[in-house]
C-alpha cells in the first residue's frame, strides 16, 4: 500500500483521528483552495483581457493598478454591489442553486489536482476517474441554469451544453485511459511520479501516440470549459449570452469564476498527465530541491506555471478561432476525436508492449530511446511551425509577398 501522500497527513502525522483529519482538511485545504480559485479567477480574467487586447491590437485595461492588474478586483466589487435579479417566471430555487452547483462542480475537481509533491487534497487511487466523473458536474449546473431561467435563449444554451457533454466526454475518457494504461495507475501523484527525471520521461514523449492523446485531451478540455471555439452554450452572437443570459451580479460572477477555475483544472490535469506535473524536466534540478518544504514550494511553482501557460494557450486559441457549429462540434468529437482516441489507445499500448520503456529510464531518467524520439518529434513540430510562421509572415507583408510569387 502506498504511504498516505497528502498535506494533512504530513501536518498531523499518521495517528490522527478522523475528526481531527476532517477539521485539518477544512483548515488546510478548503480555505486555501477557495482562495486559490479566486486568485486563479482574478489572474486569468486579467490575462484573458490582456491577451485578447494585444491580439486585437488593443491595450486592454490600463487604468486600475499596474496595466490594469486590479481591474478585475474593481469589477468584482461592482458585481457584488449589483442588484440580485430573478426573472419573474423563473424557478427561483433552481435559479439560485445553479451557480452554486456549477461552482461546486468545478471546485471539487481541485480535490485531486496536485500543487506539488504531497500538496494534494486527496490523493485518490482513482484520481483520473474521479475527475472524469465530477468534471461534468458543472454541466449539470449549466443545464439547471438554462432551465430555471425560463428563457428560450438560456434553454437553447443549456441544451447545447448537454449535447456538448455527451460528445466531448468520450474522447476525453479515451485520452485518460491511454495515460492510465501507460502509467498503470489512476492516482494523480502516481502518474506524476512516473514522469520523474529528464523531460523525455514526460508522458507526452513516452511514445508517438501520446502526442495525439494530448491534443485530443486538450480539445476535449476546451469543450469542457465551454471555451471558444466550443463556446456554443453561451454563443454571444446567437444566444445573447446562452445559459447565463438572465444572470447578473454575483450569480453571474460565480459562473464566471467557475469557468476560469475549470480552465485551470483542465490545464493542471493536462500538466499532470502529459507534462510531468511538478517535475521541471531537468533531472538534476529536481534531485537538488528534494521533497522537503523547498521541494514542495518549487514543485508548486512549476506546476502552477505550467498550468497557467496552458491556460494562456486556451485564451490564445479563443481569440484565434471562430466558434464552430453544433453539428461540426459533434462531427469533430464523434467522428474525428473518437476514432483517433481509440487508435491512440491501441497504438500506445502496442508500442509499450513491443518497445517497453526500460525501468532505468522510468525512474532515473537517462538518455534513452525516448530522448531520441523526443528530439525527432520536437524537431518535426518545430520545423513545421517555423514553416507555417514564415509563410504567414510572407503572406502578410506585401513586399515579401510580391517577391515570392512574381
Partner 1 sequence: MSLGAYLNSIGTSAKTIVAGMALTFRYLIRPSEIVTIQYGSKNNAPKERYVPDRHRGIHILETEKCIHCHICEKACPVDCITMDGTRDAPFDGAWKGDGCFISSFTLDLNKCIFCNLCCEPCPKECIHMGMEFDAAAYTRAHGVKNLLTDAPYSEADRVREAEARQLIEAAEAEAKRRKDEARKAAAAAKAQATPAAAPAAPGAPAAPKPPGLPPPPGAVVPKPIASPTPGMPKPPGAAMPPPPAPPATAGPAMPPPPKPMPPMPKPPTN
Considering the rule CB under 8 A, would residue 396 count as an interface residue with partner 1? yes
Taking CA atoms, 291 is separated from 5, 61, 189, 298, 300, in Å, by 12, 40, 13, 9, 11
**Phi/psi class of residue 244: alpha, beta or left (left: φ > 0; alpha: ψ in -120 to 50)?**
alpha
Minimum Å gap between C-beta 335 and partner 1 is 8
Considering the rule CB under 8 A, would residue 93 count as an interface residue with partner 1? no
CB neighbour list of residue 223: distance below 8 Å, 6 or more residues apart: 164, 167, 168, 230, 329, 333
Beta carbon nearer to partner 1, 53 or 124: 53
Minimum Å gap between C-beta 192 and partner 1 is 28
Minimum Å gap between C-beta 267 and partner 1 is 17
Which DSSP string do the residues of 208-274 spell out, in sequence order?
HHHHHHHHHHHHHHHHHTT-TTS-TTT-HHHHTTGGGTT--HHHHHHHHHHHHHHHHHHHHHHHHHH
Asked whether the bond before 229 is cis by omega within 30 degrees of 0, the reply is yes
Tell me the three-class secondary structure of 391-403, residue by residue.
HHHHHHCHHHHHH
Q: Are 169 and 134 in contact (CB under 8 A)?
A: no
The only residue of 2, 59, 85, 293 in contact with partner 1, by rule CB under 8 A: 59
Minimum Å gap between C-beta 58 and partner 1 is 5
Q: Are 149 and 87 in contact (CB under 8 A)?
A: yes
Considering the rule CB under 8 A, would residue 391 count as an interface residue with partner 1? yes
Distance of CA 180 to the CA centre of its chain: 18
The only residue of 2, 20, 56, 403 in contact with partner 1, by rule CB under 8 A: 56
Beta carbon nearer to partner 1, 213 or 253: 213
Of residues 227-286, those binding partner 1 (CB under 8 A): none
Minimum Å gap between C-beta 357 and partner 1 is 28
Beta carbon nearer to partner 1, 97 or 331: 331
Binding footprint of partner 1, residue count (CB under 8 A): 23
Altogether, the residues listed in the chain come to a count of 406
Nearest-angstrom CA–CA distance, 282 and 97: 46
The only residue of 27, 62, 133, 380 in contact with partner 1, by rule CB under 8 A: 62
Of residues 311-350, those binding partner 1 (CB under 8 A): 316-317, 319-321, 336
Beta carbon nearer to partner 1, 318 or 362: 318
The only residue of 291, 305, 383, 385 in contact with partner 1, by rule CB under 8 A: 385
Considering the rule CB under 8 A, would residue 211 count as an interface residue with partner 1? no
Q: Three cell numbers at 241?
A: 449570452
Beta carbon nearer to partner 1, 19 or 57: 57
Three-state secondary-structure class, residue 140:
helix
Minimum Å gap between C-beta 57 and partner 1 is 5
Q: Identify which range of 47-55, 88-96, 103-111, 182-190 contacts partner 1 by CB under 8 A.
A: 47-55
Nearest-angstrom CA–CA distance, 276 and 110: 18
Q: Residues interacting with partner 1, by CB under 8 A?
A: 51, 53-59, 62, 316-317, 319-321, 336, 384-385, 388-389, 391-393, 396
Amino acid at each position: 500500500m502506498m504511504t498516505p501522500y497528502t498535506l494533512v497527513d504530513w501536518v498531523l502525522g499518521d495517528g490522527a483521528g478522523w475528526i481531527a483529519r476532517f477539521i485539518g482538511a477544512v483548515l488546510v485545504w478548503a480555505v486555501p483552495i477557495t482562495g486559490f480559485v479566486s486568485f486563479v479567477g482574478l489572474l486569468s480574467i486579467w490575462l484573458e483581457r490582456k491577451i485578447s487586447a494585444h491580439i486585437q491590437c488593443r491595450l486592454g485595461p490600463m487604468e486600475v493598478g499596474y496595466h490594469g492588474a486590479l481591474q478585475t478586483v474593481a469589477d468584482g466589487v461592482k458585481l457584488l454591489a449589483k442588484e440580485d435579479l430573478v426573472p419573474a417566471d423563473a424557478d427561483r430555487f433552481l435559479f439560485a442553486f445553479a451557480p452554486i452547483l456549477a461552482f461546486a462542480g468545478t471546485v471539487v475537481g481541485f480535490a485531486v489536482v496536485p500543487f506539488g509533491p504531497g500538496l494534494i487534497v486527496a490523493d485518490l487511487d482513482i484520481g483520473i476517474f474521479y475527475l472524469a466523473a465530477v468534471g461534468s458536474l458543472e454541466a449539470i449546473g449549466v443545464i439547471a441554469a438554462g432551465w430555471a431561467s425560463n428563457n428560450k435563449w438560456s434553454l437553447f444554451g443549456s441544451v447545447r451544453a448537454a449535447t456538448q457533454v455527451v460528445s466531448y466526454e468520450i474522447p476525453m475518457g479515451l485520452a485518460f485511459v491511454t495515460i492510465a494504461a501507460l502509467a498503470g495507475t489512476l492516482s494523480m501523484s502516481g502518474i506524476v511520479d512516473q514522469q520523474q527525471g529528464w523531460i523525455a520521461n514526460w508522458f507526452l514523449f513516452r511514445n508517438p501516440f501520446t502526442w495525439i492523446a494530448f491534443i485530443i485531451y486538450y480539445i476535449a478540455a476546451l469543450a469542457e470549459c465551454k471555451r471558444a471555439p466550443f463556446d456554443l452554450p453561451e454563443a454571444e452572437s446567437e444566444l445573447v449570452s446562452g445559459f447565463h443570459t438572465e444572470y447578473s451580479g454575483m450569480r453571474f460572477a460565480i459562473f464566471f469564476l467557475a469557468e476560469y477555475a475549470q480552465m485551470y483544472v483542465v490545464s493542471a490535469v493536462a500538466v499532470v498527465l502529459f507534462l510531468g506535473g511538478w517535475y521541471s524536466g531537468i533531472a538534476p534540478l529536481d534531485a537538488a530541491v528534494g521533497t522537503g518544504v523547498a521541494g514542495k514550494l518549487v514543485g508548486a511553482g512549476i506546476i502552477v506555471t505550467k498550468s497557467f501557460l496552458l491556460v494562456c494557450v486556451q485564451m490564445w486559441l479563443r481569440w484565434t478561432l471562430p466558434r464552430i457549429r453544433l453539428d461540426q462540434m459533434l462531427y469533430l468529437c464523434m467522428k474525428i476525436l473518437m476514432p483517433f482516441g481509440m487508435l491512440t489507445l491501441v497504438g500506445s499500448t502496442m508500442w509499450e508492449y513491443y518497445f517497453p520503456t526500460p525501468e532505468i529510464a522510468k525512474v532515473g531518467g537517462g538518455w534513452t530511446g525516448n530522448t531520441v524520439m523526443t528530439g525527432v518529434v520536437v524537431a518535426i513540430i518545430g520545423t513545421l511551425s517555423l514553416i507555417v510562421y514564415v509563410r504567414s509572415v510572407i503572406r502578410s507583408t506585401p513586399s515579401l509577398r510580391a517577391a515570392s510569387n512574381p
